[in-house]
């Protein structure tokens, strides 16, 4: 089961005005927990491939990273087989929403990471640099069927090392 649910910052800002809230708590965490719990109750025991985020931590200051961290904890405690992907920024074609700040953030972050790699911090660059949506999708499918990925957190560099 590929679990790639999530909302955007823009939608979360306007959640209070909406009849259907789109906060990180209700979408990224709440709806995802419903899917995990349904899978656990199904008796089928599928592997969950969760698209999380670099920086996910239940104690994070950011609501987004905190929701992602809590979701990862819930998945790990579910008893289901899983693989958790933690990319940096996801970029490129196939994104439904116009996200100018996210795109700018990816460009700036990738530029800083490139300079850090020149200074010898290549692993830092590989872990946090942006990844294109098509490349990420291929990685998720590859790791879904790779027994070595079971029970693992897959940081950015592991999302680029598939056949």
What is this structure's pTM? 0.81
pLDDT at 107: 74
- Alpha-carbon separation of residue 69 from 12, 64, 125, 129 (angstroms): 18, 9, 22, 20
pLDDT of 99 reads 61
The whole-angstrom separation of Cα 90 and Cα 67 is 18
CA dihedral 110, 141, 158, 122 (to 10 degrees): -30
Considering only residues 151 and 62, tell me which one the structure prediction assigns the higher pLDDT: 151
Do residues 53 and 87 touch, judged by C-beta distance below 8 A?
yes
**Cβ atoms of 117 and 124 closer than 8 Å:** yes
Q: Quick check: 57 pLDDT over 90?
A: yes
Query: Do 40 and 3 touch, CB atoms closer than 8 A?
Result: no
**What is the reported pLDDT for 142?**
93
């Amino acid at each position: 089961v590929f679990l790639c649910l999530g909302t955007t910052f823009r939608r979360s800002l306007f959640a209070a005005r909406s009849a259907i809230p789109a906060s990180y708590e209700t979408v990224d965490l709440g709806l995802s927990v419903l899917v995990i719990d349904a899978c656990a109750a199904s008796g089928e025991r599928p592997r969950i491939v969760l698209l999380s985020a670099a920086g996910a931590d239940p104690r994070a200051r950011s609501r987004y990273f905190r929701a992602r961290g809590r979701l990862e904890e819930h998945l790990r405690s579910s008893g289901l087989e899983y693989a958790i992907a933690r990319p940096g920024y996801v970029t490129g074609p196939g994104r439904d929403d116009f996200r100018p700040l996210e795109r700018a953030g990816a460009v700036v972050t990738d530029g800083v990471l490139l300079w850090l790699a020149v200074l010898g911090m290549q692993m830092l660059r590989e872990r946090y640099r942006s990844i294109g949506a098509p490349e990420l999708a291929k990685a998720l499918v590859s790791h879904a069927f790779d027994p070595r990925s079971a029970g693992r957190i897959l940081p950015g560099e592991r999302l680029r090392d598939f056949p």
